[in-house]
Amino acid sequence: MPVFYGTEVVSRLMLGTAQYPSPAILAQAFRRSGAGIATVSVRRETGEDRAGQDFWDLVAGLGVKILPNTAGCYSVREAVTTAQMARELFDTPWIKLEVIGEGDSLQPNPFELVDAARILVKDGFQVFPYCTEDLVLCDKLVEVGCEVLMPWGAPIGTGLGLNNVYGLRALRARFPDIPLVVDAGLGLPSQAAHAMELGYDAVLLNTAVAKAGDPAAMAEGFARAVEAGALAYTADPMAPRDMAAPSTPVLGKAFL
- Rounded Cα distance, 192 and 208, in Å: 11
- Rounded Cα distance, 32 and 55, in Å: 19
Whether 207 has a binding-site annotation, put simply, is yes
Query: Quick check: is 211 catalytic?
Result: no
Whether 69 has a binding-site annotation, put simply, is no
Closest of 176, 65, 202, 59 to residue 126, by C-alpha: 65
The string over 88-126, giving b where at least 16 C-beta atoms fall within 10 Å of a residue's C-beta and e elsewhere, is ebbeeebbbbbbbbeeeebbbbbebbbbbbbbbbeeebb
Whether 185 has a binding-site annotation, put simply, is yes
Q: Which of 96, 140, 211, 253 is catalytic?
A: 96
| Burial grade of 135 (CB within 10 A; 0-12, 13-18, 19 or more) | middle
Annotated binding-site ranges for 1-deoxy-D-xylulose 5-phosphate: 157, 184-185, 206-207
Active site residues: 96
Binding site listing: 157, 184-185, 206-207
